[in-house]
C-alpha cells in the first residue's frame, strides 16, 4: 500500500491544478454515508412478501378467488381500478383479436429465432421487437390524438375541424390510423362497433371517426380505419395510455409467438451452427474473381475519396447500384422521442 501511495509521475495526475491529491486518494471501501437514507426501489404498483402479492392494494390471490381474470388485473395494474364488466369484455375482445396474426412478420421472427436453437423466451422477445415505431406505433398514434384534442380545446375548434387539420398535417404518416390496409377486412370497423354496443366508446373513437371522414374526403384513393386506429382509439377510451396500450398488445402477441416457436421446432427442428448453406444460385453479386496479391494492391485498389463534384456524383451513382451498402435507402428512421411527443427523459421539473 505504501508503494501505491508514494507512486508519482503518471501523466498529468500530479499536476497541482488537479482538484484533489490523486496520489493520496482513498483506497478500499469508502465509509457509508449515514446522512441520507440508502437507495431502495419504491413502487405504488405492487409489493410481495411470503404471504401475498398485492397489486395496487388488491391481494391477487383474493382477486382470483373472487373470480376476476387476467384482463381485470390489467386494469388494476395500469389504472389502479377494477373495470366495469363492459370494459373487461372490450379489452378481452381487443386482446383476442390482437393475439394471433397468422404468419405475419412477428411470427416469422419467432420462427427464425427458433431455428437458431434458442430459448422460447428469446424467440418471443424477437417477435415483440418487431413492434417498432413503423409496425406497432400505438405510442405515436395515441400521443398524437391527445395532442390534437388538447389543441382543439386550446384553439376553440370543433372535433371535425381539428380532424381535418390532423389529416392535412399527417396525411402520409403510417401511424395515422387511416389507410388502404383494411378496405375489405372488417376487423377494424367491428372494434368500433363493439365498443359502441358495449357503451364504452368515448372521445377517442369519436375523434377517430372524424379523422376517417376527413381523410376519405381528401384522399385520392379509397381509405378506411385500420387496425392501429381502431385498437388505439378503443384502448384509450378504456383509459389506457398510449404506452400501456403498446405494452399490453405487444405482450399479447407474444403468446402467439410462443406457439409459432413450438410449432417451428416440432416441424422443422433446429439448425446447427454453420449447417445452413447458401448456394450460388441464390447469389447475384459480382462473379468469382481471384484475390490479388498484396504486391498488386495499389494497382487494383479504388479510393473512396473524390476530388470534384463530378467525381463524387459518379462515385455515388455507382454505390447506389450496390444492394446492402445503404446508398439505396431514401428515408431515415425518425427520432422516437419526436414521434411520441416526448422531448426529454427523466423526472420533469413539475414532479
Mean local confidence (pLDDT), 271-278: 73
Could you report the per-residue pLDDT of 305-332, keeping only the tens digit for each?
999 999 999 999 999 888 888 888 776 5
Read off the pLDDT band of 3 (50, 70, 90): low
Return the closest-CA partner of residue 252 out of 127, 114, 340, 115: 127
Could you report the per-residue pLDDT of 48-85, keeping only the tens digit for each?
999 999 999 999 999 999 999 999 999 999 999 999 99
- Within 13 Å and on the Cβ side, how many CA atoms surround 224? 12
Q: Which three cell numbers stand for residue 275?
A: 449447417
Mean local confidence (pLDDT), 29-39: 82
**Mean pLDDT score of the chain:** 86
pLDDT value of position 335: 57
Q: Which residues are CB-contacts of 196 (< 8 A; sequence separation ≥ 6)?
A: 205
Instruction: Compute CA distances 287 → 94, 284, 290, whole Å.
Output: 52, 8, 10
pLDDT value of position 327: 84
Return the closest-CA partner of residue 46 out of 56, 38, 37: 56
Q: Which residues sit opposite 179 in a β-bridge?
A: 224
Q: Which three cell numbers stand for residue 35?
A: 446522512
DSSP state of 23: G
Read off the pLDDT band of 351 (50, 70, 90): very low
DSSP state of 244: H
More confident residue, 118 or 341: 118
Range among 38-47, 235-244, 341-350 with highest mean pLDDT value: 235-244
Beta strands in the chain (DSSP E): 46-48, 53-55, 58-59, 178-179, 224-225
Q: Which three cell numbers stand for residue 107?
A: 411470427
Residue recorded with cell 381500478? 81
Cα–Cα distance for residue pair 244/39, rounded to 1 Å:
27
Q: Which residues sit opposite 59 in a β-bridge?
A: 54
Could you report the per-residue pLDDT of 7-21, keeping only the tens digit for each?
556 778 888 888 878
Q: What percent of the chain has pLDDT over 70?
A: 89
pLDDT value of position 211: 97
Consecutive H or E run containing 322: none
Could you report the per-residue pLDDT of 193-232, keeping only the tens digit for each?
999 999 999 999 999 999 999 999 999 999 999 999 999 9
Cα–Cα distance for residue pair 34/63, rounded to 1 Å:
41
More confident residue, 250 or 31: 250
Read off the pLDDT band of 278 (50, 70, 90): confident
DSSP letters along 262-312, please? HHHHHHH----TTT----GGG--SSPP-PPPPGGGHHHH---S--SSHHHH
Amino acid at each position: 500500500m505504501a508503494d501505491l501511495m508514494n507512486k508519482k509521475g503518471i501523466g498529468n495526475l500530479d499536476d497541482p491544478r488537479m482538484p484533489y491529491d490523486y496520489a493520496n486518494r482513498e483506497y478500499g471501501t469508502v465509509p457509508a454515508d449515514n446522512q441520507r437514507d440508502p437507495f431502495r426501489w419504491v413502487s405504488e404498483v405492487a409489493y410481495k412478501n411470503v404471504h401475498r402479492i398485492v397489486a395496487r392494494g388488491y391481494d391477487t390471490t383474493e382477486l382470483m378467488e373472487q373470480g376476476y381474470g387476467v384482463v381485470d388485473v390489467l386494469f388494476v395494474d395500469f389504472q389502479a381500478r377494477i373495470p366495469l364488466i363492459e370494459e373487461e369484455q372490450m379489452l378481452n375482445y381487443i386482446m383476442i383479436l390482437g393475439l394471433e396474426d397468422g404468419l405475419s412478420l412477428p411470427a416469422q421472427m419467432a420462427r427464425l429465432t427458433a431455428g437458431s436453437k434458442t430459448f422460447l423466451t428469446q424467440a418471443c422477445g424477437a417477435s415483440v421487437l418487431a413492434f417498432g415505431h413503423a409496425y406497432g406505433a400505438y405510442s405515436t398514434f395515441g400521443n398524437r390524438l391527445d395532442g390534437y384534442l388538447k389543441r382543439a380545446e386550446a384553439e376553440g375548434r370543433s372535433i371535425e375541424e381539428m380532424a381535418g387539420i390532423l389529416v392535412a398535417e399527417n396525411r402520409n404518416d403510417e401511424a395515422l390510423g387511416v389507410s388502404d390496409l383494411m378496405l375489405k377486412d372488417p376487423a377494424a370497423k367491428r372494434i368500433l362497433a363493439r365498443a359502441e354496443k358495449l357503451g364504452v366508446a368515448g372521445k377517442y373513437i369519436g375523434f377517430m371517426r372524424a379523422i376517417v371522414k376527413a381523410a376519405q374526403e381528401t384522399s385520392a384513393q379509397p381509405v378506411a380505419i385500420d387496425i392501429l386506429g381502431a385498437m388505439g382509439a378503443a384502448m384509450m377510451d378504456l383509459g389506457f395510455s398510449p404506452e400501456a396500450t403498446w405494452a399490453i398488445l405487444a405482450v399479447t402477441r407474444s403468446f402467439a409467438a410462443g406457439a409459432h416457436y413450438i410449432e417451428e421446432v416440432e416441424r422443422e427442428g433446429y439448425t446447427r451452427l454453420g449447417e445452413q448453406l447458401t448456394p450460388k444460385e441464390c447469389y447475384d453479386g459480382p462473379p468469382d474473381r481471384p484475390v490479388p496479391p498484396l504486391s498488386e494492391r495499389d494497382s487494383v485498389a479504388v479510393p473512396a475519396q473524390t476530388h470534384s463534384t463530378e467525381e463524387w456524383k459518379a462515385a455515388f451513382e455507382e454505390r447506389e447500384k450496390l444492394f446492402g451498402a445503404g446508398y439505396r435507402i431514401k428515408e431515415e428512421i425518425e427520432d422516437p422521442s419526436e414521434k411520441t411527443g416526448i422531448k426529454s427523459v427523466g423526472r420533469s421539473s413539475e414532479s
